[in-house]
Structures are given as C-alpha cells and as structure tokens.
Chains A and B, each alone.
Chain A
Amino acid sequence: MMSINAARVGAVIRKELTEFRRSRFVVATMVVVPLVFLVFPTVAILAQHPAGPSASLDQGVGFFLTYLLVIPVLIPSTIAAYSVVGEREQGTLEPMLTTPVSREEILIGKAAAVLIPSVGIAYLVLGIFLAVLRFGADPLVAAAVWHSPYLLAQVFFIPLLAGWAIWICLAISSKASDIRVAQQLGALASLPPIALTLLLSYQVINSTLILAASLVGALLVIDCAAYLLVSRLFDRERLVSGTKPGSA
C-alpha cells in the first residue's frame, strides 16, 4: 500500500479550490443549485399550517428535509465530472503525472476539493432552512422538523451522498474525453441516490432507524468500493494514451 503524502494531497486540494473559485461555471453551480433546492422547501414549509393529522405533518417535514439531500448529490456530480477530463483538455494531466505525486494522492486531493465545498454548502443550506423555520414557521411545524428522524439522517447522508457522487463522477471523468459528456453522464449517475431520496420522501419506502442505519452502512461500503475502483481506473498509461496498461 502506497503511503499518502499529506502535503501533496494539500497541494492538489489548494490548486483545485483556486481553480473552482475562478471558474464561473463552478461558482454558478455552487450558487444556483442550492438556491433552487432551498427556495421550494422553505416556502412550502412556511406555508404549512398543521390543521390535519400529525402523520401528514411528519410526512411533509420528511419530504422537505430529504429534498435538501439532492444538493450534496448534484453539486459534486457537476464539479467532479469536470475534474479529470478538464485537466486532460488543458493538457495539464501529463505534466502532473510526471511528478512524484501518486494517483491516490491526486484522487484524494481532487475528491476532497469537491467534497469540502459541496458538504459545506449542503450544511449551510440546511442551516438556513432551519433558521428560517425557527423564526418564520408555525411552532408546531418547527417542532416537527426538530424532532424528525430525517434531520439526524441529514447529518450522515450529506457527506456520504456527496462521496457517492464524487467517486462515480471521477470515474466517469477519468474515462471520458469530453467535459460535456462527463457532466451529462455524471448527472445520470447521480440519479439512483436522488431516486432513493424521493422514494423516502414520498414514503414509498418507509423510513425506519434500521433502514437509515443500513443505508448509511451501504453508502459507506459503496464509497469505499468506488474509491478503489476509481483508483484502478486512474492509471497513468490509461489517462495519457487512452489504452489499458500494458496492452499489446
């Protein structure tokens, strides 16, 4: 197992974040996506008046909270898809690959650079949502949100779902030769967790503590497996020449 040099990982993170900050597309994605997915649940929950049965209120609260989970899936899928293929298009991949940096260091650096803002924004949006709820919503609705099991689930699901999207999109980006194709495929790949989120929101799947714990566990396993898969795909020869290593 290759040792990971934290300084090199840090260099990759720093470089990626600087590039993101100066990319209009990335900045727009990081602003527009959270806004779009914040406005609807916020407005809707402010309009909630708990006249009906509490089960109906819980269902509504669950829907709005799981709706917010789309953010940590969509933002990284858009940015991570650009990550490797963007380097290839700029011609920067080859110079980087001839330095002592290992592929694990590159991958961890790139993944962390996407994970940090994505998770940060997702938690920020959740915080804004809760703040608005605290000061603007009906007290009964606010109480329902604070006591909802979905709220705790958010804390765990946000980084895990972001991890899913990042590794899948890095895998796609490593294979793709065009940024648009990579981003479109990345968006497609983020559909399964979004679909699962919606099924939970609409209570097609009944959310229980056991189910939530199982999903957390499954996502952890998937994230780890995806890292190993991407690590194998991220081969210098494959990236530079487009052929399988040692192919003859």
Chain B
Amino acid sequence: MGSDDGALEHSGSGRRYGAAAGQQDWVGPAAIEVSHLTKKFGGRTAVADVSFSVARGEVFGFLGPNGAGKTTTVRILGTLIAPTSGSAVVAGFPLTQASAAEIRQRISVMPEAPGLYRRLTVTENLEFFARLYGLAHREARIKESLAAVNLSDRANDSCGSLSKGLRQRVALARTLLSDPAVMFLDEPTTGLDPVAAHEVHGLIAALRDRGVTVFLTTHRLDEAERLCDRVAIMNSSLRTIGRPDELRQALFSRSLAVSTAKPLARPDQVFAGLSAVHGWRAAGPAGGGLAGLSAVQGWRATDPPGGDAAGGDPAAGGTAGYLLTVTDPAQAAPGVTRALVAAGADVLSITESRHTLEDVYLELLNDQEGQS
C-alpha cells in the first residue's frame, strides 16, 4: 500500500497527493491494458476493436467528438458496463466480474456531471464515499482532499448551494479521497473558471509526479496538450495514439513562419534557391497574418502554393506572412534569414510554426469524414 495510508502530503507551498493506495499492489508494466475492446448496444457499435495501453504514472488523454465512445470506454474500464468482446487489465486486475470489486477499490472515476448529493454538505458527501471505500482516518483524508482543491472553507456548505464550478471541485476532491492508483477524469475542468481550471491542471500534474495514472477525457485540446503524456483520438474506433509531438510530426510537415514588414516582390525567387526549403505559401499579412498562420491546417510540402502568392500585395504595403516547408526549422532558419535580407526584406520574425493538437484532431476527423 501507499505511504501513510495513502494520506495527502505537503509539498512546498501547495499540497500534493500522496502515494497511491494499491499502487504497489500489482506487478506489471501498464496501469491499463486494453485489447480489442468492443461494445455494442443493440445494433449500434459504441466502441469498435479498441486496443491501447496506459503506463503507470502516465497522464493519458482520451479525445474524440461527442458520441465517439469515450464515456463508454471509461465506463467499461470503470467496471460499470461489460464489454461485448475484447479484454482489459485495469490496475493490475483483469476486467472480469470476479475482479471488479478489486479494480473499484483501486480506481476512482469522476464522471462529467459532478454527481453530488445536493441535500448533504460537502463534508457529508465525502464522508459517505470515504465510508464506501472503507478508508481509515476519514476526517483527515477529507480535510486533505478539500485542501487539495482549495475548498476547505466550504466544507460545511450544502452542495445544493454551490456553483457548478465548486461542485466540480467537490467531485474532484471525492475522486482524490481514496488515493487511487488509476483515476478516470471525464471533463474535469468543465464549468470551471480559468483560475480554478489552472488549479486542477496543477493538481493533475502533481498526481502524475506522484505516480498516479490519470485517464483524462476532455474536449479541451489545449488542456490535453498541456497535461497529457500521450493522447488517443477516438471516433468509435481508435483513430490515432501517441505523444502530441509525434502526432503532429506524423500528420504535418515542419514549417517556418516568416513575417516581413512588407510583402516580398518576388517570393518565388527568394525561397526557390534555398535547399532547406521544400515549398512555401503565403500565409496572409502578418499581424492579421500571424493569426492566419495557425489557420493553415494540413498544408504539406506537396501542396501547391495557392491564394495570394506574394503573401500580400506589394503595392498595398503592410506586413506579410509566409509559411515555408522545411525538414529542420533550426537548420533552415539562418539560410532563410540571409536570403530575406539579401532580397531587401525587413524581417519581423522567423519562428517555427507549430501545429496544435487541435490541428491534429481536426485533420484526423476530417480525413475520416472524407473517407466516409
């Protein structure tokens, strides 16, 4: 078992969650191992032949549009519903009816809706769940969990009187209560203000540091990108899985975003002579132009330059933006800078253009729509 009955422990100015209960109870490389999992409801396939594994201590993002099977997958892994076929191992136990209670002892699930007893106080809600988990030192655990989500001062408030954001935090405190080895968080920051969401992010990061496995279902791609070691994108079946960087590289070419004070008179001549540049396209005027860069999704070296080839009308003046396809942005940047200076351009910036996880997500889903 974890340290001190899995109690919370202090760390610096904040509080960090203690070693997960049951974390050392199993031997095996993965916290979650899913193999060909399928779930059908009548004639509808909610989850189709999904396989993946989540390492111990990993923050794993599970993304997908509404109805993609994310919640169904979480419910299967949380022992709420049985798969139609396939198998899984959760927290070291096979996902069977016989071991369901063992799994439930070692995991905690925070559904999308906070699911609190509105007539009970915050403490009474947590007290109830602490008893269901059979926790020792309940009072201390409750205090620590509330402190972890900054809700100590609302401990005696009725849950019915709390705002949605505060209820979400109580639900998170409830999830922390049992000091689980694997946590399933379904949209944990829904309804939270930016400060509260930031605190939750900090909490998840602290959980990862302590070796707790977090299975994070979210629609917030920036959140997934910031927090998750790896992400899986679902749409009934698994579309892709990997580290955000890997996914970006697999789908998109690396590129340099160039911003100049004025549009180049002959951009073809400037970029064509550079061996490190495999292609280019105008990305609209900078200012507006740089914002426009992020809108260039899925552009590849093979894409023909389109639109305003000059990156802006030289006669009209104003800033201009260009997106250059390169193999290695760091290696290409000096040559590009020299070429631009030689062409008399006033360079405002040259940066590596990073595709976001959102770009990856949309690209994958667009691909799927195109195929269907």
A42 at the interface (CB under 8 A from B): no
Is B36 an interface position by the 8 A CB rule?
Answer: no
Chain B residue contacts of A245, Cβ below 8 A: 81-82
**CB contact list, A2-35 vs B, under 8 A:** 5, 7-8, 10-11, 14-15, 18-19, 22-23
| Given the contacts A15-B128, A94-B80, A8 and B118 also touching, CB distance less than 8 Å | no
B-side interface residues, number (CB < 8 Å): 37
Query: Is A175 interfacial (CB-CB < 8 Å)?
Result: no
Q: B119 contacts A19, CB within 8 Å?
A: yes
Which listed residue (B79, B109, B120, B124) contacts A95, Cβ 8 A? Answer: B109
**Interface membership of A237, Cβ < 8 A:** yes
- Smallest CB gap from B45: residue in A: A248
Which of B40, B75, B81, B171: most chain A Cβ within 10 A?
A: B81
Residue B132 contacts which of A18, A101, A248 (CB distance < 8 angstroms)? A101
- Bound CA span A248–B104, Å: 24
Query: Are B129 and A95 in touch, CB under 8 angstroms?
Result: yes
The interface residues of chain A lying within 8 Å CB-to-CB of B82 are 237, 245-246
Do the beta carbons of A95 and B104 come within 8 Å of each other?
Answer: no
> Is B107 at the interface (CB under 8 A from chain A)?
yes
Closest chain B residue, CB of each to CB of A101: B132
- Name B109-150 residues within 8 Å CB distance of A: 109-111, 113-120, 124, 128-129, 131-134
- 206-256 of chain B: CB within 8 A of chain A: none
Question: Is A212 an interface position by the 8 A CB rule?
Answer: no
Q: How many residues of A contact B (CB 8 A)?
A: 33
Q: What is the bound-complex CA distance between A210 and B80, given in angstroms? A: 47
Distance A181 CA – B283 CA, assembled complex (angstroms): 60
- Interface: A102 (CB within 8 A): yes
Known contacts A19-B119, A98-B78; A7/B131 CB under 8 A:
yes
Interface residues of A in 94-120 (CB under 8 A from B): 94-102
- Taken together as a complex, chains A and B put the C-alpha atoms of A11 and B132 apart, in Å, by 7
> Are the C-beta atoms of B124 and A18 separated by less than 8 Å?
yes
- Point out the residue from B42, B75, B105, B117 that lies within 8 Å of A92, measured CB to CB: B117
Partner of B128, one of A11, A22, A94, A237: A11
Contact A100 B133 (CB under 8 A): yes
Whether A217 is near chain B, meaning CB under 8 Å from some CB there, is no
Min C-beta distance of B162 to chain A, whole Å = 13
* A18 to B72 Cα, complex, angstroms: 32
Interface residues of B in 87-109 (CB under 8 A from A): 101, 104-105, 107-109
Within 8 A of B (CB), among A68-97: 90-97
| CB atoms of B119 and A240 under 8 A apart | no
Residue from the list A23, A92, A100, A241 in contact with B101, Cβ < 8 A: A100
Residue A236 CB within 8 A of the other chain: yes
Q: Could you tell me the distance in whole angstroms from the C-beta of A12 to the nearest C-beta in chain B?
A: 8
| A and B contact pairs by CB, cutoff 8 A, 9 listed | A15-B128, A23-B119, A94-B113, A98-B107, A99-B129, A100-B134, A236-B81, A237-B82, A241-B75
Q: Give A contacts to B, CB under 8 Å.
A: 5, 7-8, 10-11, 14-15, 18-19, 22-23, 90-102, 236-237, 240-241, 243, 245-248
Beyond A93-B115, A96-B129, 5 additional pairs, beta carbon < 8 A: A8-B134, A91-B114, A91-B115, A98-B107, A100-B105
